[in-house]
Structure 1
Amino acid sequence: MSTPRFLDLPPGVRRTDLPTPFGTVAALSAVPAAGGCELQPAVLVPGYTGSKEDFIALLQTLAQAGRSVTAIDLPGQYESPGLADPLLYTLDGLGAAVAEVVVALDQGPVHLAGHSFGGLVCRDTVLAGQVPLISLTLMSSGPAAVGGARATDARNLAAVLGDRPTGERLREVWTQHLDALARGKGVPDEIYAFLRDRMLANDPYALTRMADTLVSAPDRTLELAATGLPTLVLYGEDDDAWPPEVQAAMAKDLGARRVVVPGATHSPNVEAPETTAGALTAFWNASETPERTA
């Protein structure tokens, strides 16, 4: 679970709702404080149990480079309502939902970046080939299902929610299993309150279905490499989800640019926002060739 650096929206960042065929998608958007959006836009997708707020510390810096930047909650996450059909909480279903966000923004080709589980979702958006994209960033995201402690946590959460999860059951899970963990982070009261409110606002079906997807995702690295889309693999040097060596090997197989963020673990967007924003901007700028943005 990521912890936003702060919750107050910076100047130039606004909360908005995007209507899509999958339902309303909640978003935070930023534009340059001065001047126009001369560069191509970007869309940021959070990980499992995350939200658009995980990118708050990046938005201003990314926008100031001269582009519109939008961070979203996936359907069923935090402020985005859940899907009418729970069976759509799959990588291809959520990837299609991200594609519809690109359509709803109506800003032309975009840079797509996904954190953790969001990277797996964005990969499916790319492979479906339904919307124009300039580049893909896989941020602390691996080639296939997550393993280790992260997989255990996801399986445990799905198990305690049960086969017919409800909001009431989710609240019980928070009280019995997650509250102490959140308090143990030693974060300020307002951050603790946000973490609690965000978890309880999730669609319980989304949590269970996304957990199943996270621990069973196939490796589609070769398919992604075949698209030829410029790709950045960015992760913390001490990532505790997908091991750094696994992400390094994926970057090699993709022929991707690779950035390792010093001192960061699984959320360089939170732990080292300036370094992360600088790497994203440099990669996005380099990817904007005439043939890519036409």
Structure 2
Amino acid sequence: MSRPPTFTPPPCARAHRLRTGRGDFAVLDASPRTAPRGTALLLPGYTGSKEDFIALLEPLCAAGYRTVSVDGRGQYETEGTDRQETYAQGELARDVLAQAAALDGPVHLLGHSLGGQIARAAVLLDASPFRSLTLMSSGPAQVAEAQQVKVKMLSDALATLSMAEVWEAMLALDPPEDAATDGEALRRRWLLHRPAQLIATGRQLVSEPDRVAELAAAALPFHVLSGERDDTWPVPLLDEMAQRLGARRTRIAGAEHSPNTDRPEQTASALTSFWDSL
């Protein structure tokens, strides 16, 4: 589970609902004081939320970029249904296209982990709303075998237990050093996620095919960014994907699967360097 250091956005950001042709989405919308150099749309990963990008908002604003992080359908503060088909990858991709349209594109699209696979699906449906695509700690196909086991265990638990019961079970398994964040805010976020969303997107994580060749044909500027270690997709696999895409490749020193929370200043600098180059 991603663990943002805080759930309190910086002064440059406001929380609101982004109205789109596919419904309203909860966002954190951070705008620079002057005319923006561009707009970035940030998609969180599995069990995550828009708050995963809070530490990036201020430095990206300072660099001149309007930055909008979003809760996807059924994530945290965006409403969803109890039907798993609502969260088919194609449906989530169409949500992203609607979000980009509401932001008066073209936007720099970034997806973290599962969010990267949804971002990829959106680009494959229609690349025209996007100025670039950054895949952050998001690999070419299904997650590593050990992560597949964890996702399947979680999905099985969600099918029989309440969200509160699953939270208590996960808390019991967490090492103490991983619980040093705002535990009550994390718990509230977990309880507001729709179980159907987690089950459906978990199935995507363990079965996603390799679509790198299709993506390369989209002819967008690509950026593959990760930490120097990653237990969800091996870093050498991300290196290879970047080569296949002809992408800029960035490894953030000292970061693991979530460079956005592990090393936000360095991550923001890498993002703005890429966007500025375009």
Does TM-score exceed 0.5, indicating one fold?
Answer: yes
Distance 2:76 2:175 in 1: 20
1:40 aligns with 2:33: no
CA–CA distance in 1 between the matches of 2:178 and 2:158? Answer: 26
Partner residue in 1 for 2:267: 276
2-structure distance, mates of 1:66, 1:269: 18
CA deviation digits over 1:202-240, x for unaligned, max 9?
011101111111111111000000111000000011111
8 Å contact kept, 1:22–1:83: no
Q: 1:194 aligns with which of 165, 176, 185?
A: 185
Whether the aligned pair in 2 keeps the contact of 1:150 and 1:241 (CA below 8 Å) is yes
What residue is the counterpart of 1:22 in the other structure?
A: 22
Alignment-derived partner of residue 252 in structure 2: 261
Residue of structure 2 equivalent to 1:239? 230
Please give the secondary structure, in 2, of the residue aligned with 1:259: strand
The answer to whether the 8 A contact 1:182-1:192 is kept is no
Q: SS of the residue aligned with 2:182?
A: helix
Q: How many residues align?
A: 278
User: Which residue does 1:145 correspond to in 2?
Assistant: 142
Deviation at 1:8, TM superposition (A): 1.9
Name the residue aligned to 1:290: none
Q: Which residue of 2 aligns with 1:291?
A: none
Q: State the shift of 1:21 in Å.
A: 3.7
> In structure 2, what is the Cα distance between the partners aligned to 1:84 and 1:19?
22
Instruction: Give the 3-state SS of the residue equivalent to 1:98 in structure 2.
Output: helix
1:109 correspondence with 2:106: yes
Distance 1:186 1:264, change over 3 A: closer
Give secondary structure in 2 for the equivalent of 1:282.
helix
Query: Any idea what the Cα deviations from partners look like across 1:214-273, whole Å, max 9, x if unmatched?
Result: 111111000000111000000011111100000000000001000011111100000000
2:58 matches 1:60: yes
Match of 2:47 in 1: 49
Q: 2:144–2:231: 8 Å Cα contact kept in structure 1? A: no
Instruction: State the distance in 1 between where 2:167 and 2:257 align.
Output: 22
Q: Which residue of 2 aligns with 1:179?
A: 171
CA distance in 2, matches of 1:26, 1:264: 27
Matched-pair contact (CA < 8 Å) for 2:82–2:195: no
Identity over aligned pairs, percent: 45
Paired residue for 2:97? 99
Aligned residue number for residue 69 of structure 1? 67
Check conservation: 2:52, 2:261, Cα contact below 8 A. yes
Distance 2:182 2:233 in 1: 26
What secondary structure does 1:15 align onto?
strand
Q: Does the residue aligned with 2:152 lie in a helix, a strand or coil?
A: helix
8 Å CA contact 2:127, 2:218 repeated in 1:
no
AA aligned to 1:233 is: V
Deviations 1:137-193 (Å, cap 9, x if unpaired)? 00000001112322211111111112xx7xx71222112x112245734544x6111
SS at match of 2:162: helix
Which segments of structure 1 move beyond 6 Å, counting only runs of 4 or more? none
Distance 2:82 2:165 in 1: 24
Partners of 1:219 and 1:200 lie apart in 2 by 32
The CA distance in 2 between the partners of 1:36 and 1:85, in whole Å, is: 41
Q: Which amino acid aligns with 2:125?
A: A
Q: Which runs of 5+ in 1 are unaligned?
A: 288-294
- TM-score computed with the length of structure 2 as normaliser: 0.95
Please tell me whether residue 169 in structure 1 is matched to residue 166 in structure 2.
no
Name the SS of the counterpart of 1:41 in structure 2. Answer: strand
Q: Which amino acid aligns with 2:170?
A: L
